[in-house]
Chains A and B, each alone.
Chain A
Amino acid sequence: MGDPLIYVRAIHFAAAITAVGAIFFSVFIAEPAFFKAEAGARSPTVLRAQFAWLVWIGLAVALLSGAAWFVLVAQSMSDTSFADVFSEGVLWTVLLQTGFGHAWLARLILACLLAAVLAASFQRPRKRLLADIYAVVLAGSFVGTLAFAGHAVGAGGFEGIVHPAADFVHLIAAAAWIGMLLPLALLLAAAAQDETSVGVAYTATRRFSNVGLVTVGVLLVTGCINALYLAGSLPAITETDYGRLLLIKVALFLLMVAIAAINRQVWTPRLIHVSVASSRKALSRLRRNAAIEAGLGAVIIVIVAVLGMTPPGLHQQPIPEMQHYSH
């Protein structure tokens, strides 16, 4: 557990998911909800600024942690000291001659394009639709291409296509769900302070719940495909570190689904259909649950950071004689 790469990976996942989630939330949840808000409501302006902060800070931390990740992997690949990585041209070799380097180069370009699109859309807020499409595609690709830095790549044939594709989609769905929880909590907090925004909170929570339903379905299917390739046997799941971590991750995921189901069935309808007191209570419960879910999501991110460094269950099994691996 002492490997700094675990922490760098966890930070990078969290930062990328925060930035991407805030972009998705603005486009798919918040703006459509604001559209229905009463004229003069204060919360949209405040929230737009908060989401922008989430995006920019998330992107900045993702770039820094991505650079650290790259250096650590380059050092591990080349078996050299930390200083030699910088002096011996190792970084260029890794960047230009390995699949990991190519993935990182592509992700750096995606991040820069995304920053440019976002900066431009702040300049000209009227041409939103096109900018939104660009931002969503670039943000999704930025987090999805993490698939090319993990266990999903390396095989040939059918698996060589299906596994990275499944992981790409899995990452986008995970970023959408986990990353949108923090903006949702912020929106609900703003609504709690502003009577006129309960309608916005209701629309946003409904929309979030619908998007959440889709992401849960996508996560299940793509997660099963990933698990089949990496831990596709019962002993590989119950008797290896990788498998056990995966089981904890699945349990946390199911807990998140259970909370989301309670939000959808119990608390969201009470936001508007009963009394003011009941709507207040529903608002505070939804807010608390969003925070709990975000916390569970953070634990899942840490587990994912460790899983990527742990030999997948399937190949711990038939460890062939005279072969060794190092992360």
Chain B
Amino acid sequence: MRMRITLVMLLLVALGAGAARAHAFLDHASPLVGSTVATAPHEVALTFTQNLEAAFSSVEVTDAKGVRVDQGKPQISGNTMRVGLKAAGPGRYQVHWHVLSVDTHKTEGNFSFTVGGP
């Protein structure tokens, strides 16, 4: 019995278990968190550590003056959320996301990226 449990556990460790998160946290974003990009992106794409509930997940992108530059409803599929951006000039942009993961837990966070060279 104990042998079998040890085997099962070893198998699971070997298969890379443990990488999971039960709350949806931001895994990575495009543009990258805190990055500076040369030209204004057409959209912001966020990838989370867990699948999202589309009905209760949203994202806002604002420019340095606090004006919303995202447009349209965010497209959510699995653990990614993407939202289109209006044509925007150089400057610093804030991304604020608020998501509900499928295990009913809410998370939120924000980051910025900058358009145009230093």
Contact = CB atoms under 8 A, between A and B. Distances in A.
A224 B9 contact: yes
A107 B52 CA distance: 22
Nearest to A311: B23
Interface in B37-93: 49-51, 53-56, 78-79
Interface residues of A, number: 43
Given A77-B100, A232-B18, A327 B26 contact: no
B95 to A, nearest CB: 10
A233 B18 contact: yes
Interface string B1-19: 1001100110011011111
Nearest to A102: B102
Given A229-B18, A323-B107, A224 B5 contact: yes
Contact of A99 (B13, B21, B102): B102
A217 B1 contact: yes
Interface residues on B, range: 35 or more
Contacts of A233: 18
B17 A232 contact: yes
Interface in A272-327: 311-312, 314-315, 320, 322-327
Interface stretch (A14-22, A154-162, A250-258): A154-162
B50 A220 contact: no
B106 A76 contact: yes
B34 to A, nearest CB: 10
A91 to B, nearest CB: 12
A114 to B, nearest CB: 24
B25 interface: yes
Contacts of B105: 311, 325-327
A98 interface: yes
A155 B107 contact: no
B12 A225 contact: yes
A324 B17 contact: no
A73 interface: yes
A15 to B, nearest CB: 20
Nearest to B48: A154
A154 B106 contact: no
Given A228-B13, A229-B18, A229-B20, A97 B107 contact: no
Contact of A151 (B4, B9, B22, B49): B22
A93 interface: yes
Nearest to B112: A322
Nearest to B96: A322
B32 to A, nearest CB: 13
B104 A100 contact: yes
Contact of A221 (B5, B49, B53, B56): B5
A150 interface: yes
A149 interface: yes
Given A154-B51, A323-B108, A326-B106, A228 B25 contact: no
Given A151-B103, A153-B102, A159-B20, 11 more contacts: A73-B104, A98-B100, A98-B104, A158-B17, A162-B17, A220-B1, A224-B8, A311-B22, A315-B25, A324-B109, A325-B23
Task: Give the 10 A-B CB pairs with smallest separation, nearest first.
Answer: A323-B109, A232-B18, A151-B22, A154-B50, A315-B21, A97-B55, A99-B102, A325-B107, A154-B103, A155-B20
11 contacts: A98-B56, A98-B102, A100-B102, A100-B103, A159-B19, A230-B22, A312-B22, A314-B18, A315-B49, A325-B105, A326-B107
